[in-house]
Every structure is written in structure tokens, then in C-alpha cells.
Structure 1
Amino acid sequence: MNDSYVDKVLIVEGKSDKKKVKSIVKEPVEIICTNGTISITKLDELIDFLEDKEVYILVDADEAGEKLRKQFKREFPHAEHLYIDRMYREVATAPVKHLATVLLSANIDVHTQYLENC
């Protein structure tokens, strides 16, 4: 987690998800990678860190992603859940245009070149 203050935090599953989303997002957003699962210790750290932030959850549209999403719904009821179309299944393989649209719908500023021809 970053020492500089940002008020928006996006939680994703994998490093490839983080890399892809980071290239699309235009504003300062802390992107936290769970690596598919999250320990109780890490969850406790996150609860403290995320207390006064806007939290967004963007996980894969598969069984593992849904399990993680349910855990976050319990622990972070204030978080906004972002969903990719099920046909793409994974954040990392979803088209950048689709991800940019999903992020923009949550009022996360994105680079406009990813929205062209939408």
C-alpha cells in the first residue's frame, strides 16, 4: 500500500489485472492486488487502510472471483462492485474499451483513447 494519500482504491485479483487497469486509469488510484485470495491478516490490514476511502472491487467473472467478491461484500459493505461482462471471464483478458467503460461508469477517470469508437 502506498504512503501517499489517494481517496480511491481499486481491488483486483492478479498482477496482470493490476497492470491492465493501471494503464487505463488516468487519476491517482491505489490498486491493490489480492493474488486471488486474501488472508485474515491482510484483510484486517485492509479494513484499517480502507476506512475513509472510496473502495471499488473489480474481480474476474468466475467462481474464484465471485467467492472473493462475497468475502469483500461482508467485510466492506460500503465498497462499490464493478462487473465485467461474463463473456470475458477475466479482467486481464477483457478488452480495454470494455474495462474503460466499466471504470468510467464508477466515476473513475480513464484515458480517452480507450473510449474511442464506443
Structure 2
Amino acid sequence: MDLATRHGDKPTSLKSVAERHDLSEHYLEQLVAPLRNAGLVRSVRGAYGGYNLSRPPEEITAGDVIRILEGPISPVEFEEEDNPGRRQLWKKIRDAIAEVLDNTTLADLNNQSSDSDDSYMFYI
């Protein structure tokens, strides 16, 4: 979210993100590595280096980020479910969650948090 807010600006260091949000820089390094490998963020080396989103926040969905950091979106392992009715229910729940995440962009999340006095903190 921090990179989305600063999209179009100079690269943002993880140290500055960590300080702004009271997070561990080491934790952020663990998050940014798979995002960089997947092509959602790019790193810039040098004295004024850091990280930027590789695409505009309007083109990156919450689903993109969550799948990269957490894997497939599934609230439970329903494939093992013996009851076909329950299995169908879990599939519908999974699909509904995926639809919301895939239709919510980082720009949407930034707009929602800037519309209120309290900003959201998204934990993964």
C-alpha cells in the first residue's frame, strides 16, 4: 500500500516504509522478494534506490498480491470433503472471495483508506 501511495515518485526504501509503519525492515524484505520475483515491484539500486510498483496501482489487484504472498485462495481444503453439498458450498465461498479480491485494486484500497480519518493497515 505504501508503494501504491507513492506510485510515480522516486523509489522508496524499505527502511523508510518500515519507519513510517513501525514494521521490521527484515519482515518487509521477506515480503518484497516474492513480489519482485513475480514482477509486481521493481528494485532500483544506488544511493537513491528502493522499490517501485512495476505497474500502476489501478492494474494490481489484492488477489494478485495475496496469491503471490500466500498461495491459492481457499478458506479450507474442501477437496477432501466427503459431503458434495459442503464441497459445493466451500467452492462458492472460495469463488466469492476470489471475485472480491480480483476486483479490488491497490488504487481502490488507497482511495478507501484516504476517504476516512483512520488509514487501514493491511497485514499478510
TM-score under structure 2 length normalisation: 0.27
Larger-Rg structure: 2
TM-score under structure 1 length normalisation: 0.28
